[in-house]
Structure 1
């Protein structure tokens, strides 16, 4: 029993110290986008893969078109709604996607086709549910120029409306801000990479030097794999927080969040189901168990489980009272994530009408 208490205290205490350190480091060093006018002379292609995105395009495409890019291309990836017609009516150039070839994931194939049709010196892939606010393109280009990056990936600020989507969706920012050490990007450690497919801005030459999305054709977690390949090839990677420039409303309910996170979680754990199970046990022990009874370091762990989401939201620029109240969900997070873990353990997952084997 004493050995168990020692191990529990050591592991959870070490994890707590690491999280605190990462929050402090990233709060001080993470680039934040600030609205500004786009510099002339740079030809930019804004590229939107879209499958059943009619509603999102009605909300977000006007803001994208207003950025002043040389072209905005939307690829209709076999949509079963009015995606293509809506995009044309709003003023985008619409491409009709080719059938999905064997070995490709739907999004990687859509992005590959967009890149082949694009003419820009900078290729920016952005999802249909992402909102670009005034000055966002200028901010992205400024950060791309300042960082000297071959790939700049942006984490849009989460915009959650209903109580159901607040339960899990904000966790999309937590691994980056509370667990990923941003300064590692300065060192030649390819595995220490991160990226977010919601916004990825490439220098054209770098993108094609890596082989385009064909290089990650079968990857569900294509954004992170692209970042790994870029760094292994000696390219420069930069990350930024969208703040008031770029926002996103990813999912509209708790079940939507479970579906969305469930398709990626196994890939996040390297495809190892044993590691996935161990991960769940660890977060349960760190976030929930301290509230159930006397365990070593319980007071510190309880405080951390509540404070982590709150501090993460502050760093990400989410400061409304409802955003900060999400910290109270910390102790329940592992239980809320249980359906996500169960979905991730399946041999096949379904996303937007397509089945993928994991």
Structure 2
């Protein structure tokens, strides 16, 4: 039993290290580019439900990109989202009531696509930060990759200590589990996407049916990528680099709520798989620090892996301050920090932005 666990841990951390090394060279990173002449054919689309606190950070940079239009869909907000968006200069549309069989964000995005005039549709969340040269960078990568869908993982911009506990795991999961070359495979399982920024050629978006493809999906971004690939579409991913950032959650509690909404879908809607996932990560990241290391050199290797992983991921994504790199020290306790996420995801019903969804 001890030998089997040792072999599994070694293989697990070996695979993750190899994936990270491959992605250090192969994963695209956006670099600022001048706004191209064709930017007038681009629609920048923002689904917004109670986002008045985020829009002042998003819209000035978004409006400065030079796109043909910027549209904010006010999805029945109660906090003055529409008024803030209009005051900042965006075109605002009021969302229609949520129809049966749809979840909130897919319905908001579908309405935005219907209202847009552009040949390129770029959906971006309200918590994303667009810096100078971002639109040019996204359009260049979309064309370079030849993708029907380009999804960007913005650089995490965490401010408070509670934001750092779980939010950076988005990057760690992507970069240590999915080597970039696997995206070329046709299998649905070799898919990922981030709904914070998704760029489509309109023809490809309409070809797969728009967001009706994922109308009932809580994890609509990954589901869209899988559905598009299953129909023969081409998927590409990129890191936001210096030009696209995000402040995803404002506290540990917000992180638990947000990740808890998606965790059940991430684990194939299987409670058994969720329990196995939590148990394995507890064994991989926490157990090595509880085992006696004397006479077991492998224990020190595993311990090193648990604290180096997040630091190396942060280096790759461009988060390189001393505080960013120190996040690696959270590795051994990360499984314990994720326990509330798993417990929340185990519920039959989850809530998000004031709406309740059956899992």
Query: Do both proteins adopt the same fold according to a TM-score greater than 0.5, normalized to the shorter chain?
Result: yes
Partner of 2:182: 184
Indicate the residue corresponding to 1:320 in structure 2: 321
In structure 1, C-alpha distance between the alignment counterparts of 2:145 and 2:198, rounded to whole Å:
14
Measured after TM superposition, the shift of residue 41 of structure 1 is 2.4
**Within 2, Cα distance between the matches of 1:53 and 1:294?**
50
Distance 1:300 1:156 in 2: 31
- Secondary structure of the 1:49 match is strand
How far 1:201 sits from its partner (Å)? 0.1
Q: 1:247-262 alignment to 2 at 5 Å? A: 247-262=245-260
* SS of equivalent residue, structure 1 residue 201: strand
Q: TM-score, normalised by structure 2?
A: 0.97
Q: Report the equivalent of 1:60.
A: 58
Aligned to 1:81: 79
Structure 1 runs of 4+ with >4 Å offset: none
Deviation string, structure 1 residues 32-70 (Cα, Å, up to 9, x no partner): 000011211240000000000001001111110000000
Query: Structure 1 residue 20 and structure 2 residue 17: aligned?
Result: yes
Residues 252-275 of structure 1 deviation map (CA, whole Å, 9 limit, x = unaligned): 111111101110011001101100
Which range moves more in the overlay, 166-175 or 180-189?
180-189
Aligned-partner Cα distance in 2 for 1:78–1:7: 54
Structure 1 residue matching 2:151: 3-state secondary structure? strand
Q: Does 1:298 align with 2:299?
A: yes
What's the offset of the Cα at 1:191?
2.0
Q: Distance in 1 between matches of 2:188 and 2:257?
A: 29
Residue of structure 1 aligned with 2:26, choices 29, 40, 58? 29
Find the aligned partners of 1:97 and 1:187 in 2 and give their Cα distance.
37
What does residue 9 of structure 1 align with? 6
Provide the C-alpha distance between the structure 1 equivalents of 2:213 and 2:237, rounded to a whole number of angstroms.
Answer: 21
Provide the C-alpha distance between the structure 2 equivalents of 1:303 and 1:100, rounded to a whole number of angstroms.
49
Query: What's the counterpart of residue 201 of structure 1?
Result: 199
The aligned residue for residue 330 of structure 1 is 331
- Mark the runs of 5 or more structure 2 residues left unpaired by the alignment: none
- Superposition deviation, residue 181 in structure 1: 1.7
Three-state SS of the structure 1 residue aligned to 2:73 is strand
SS of residue matched to 1:78: coil
Count residues in correspondence.
355
TM superposition shift of 1:187: 2.4
Aligned ranges for residues 159-178 of structure 1 at < 5 Å? 159-178=157-176
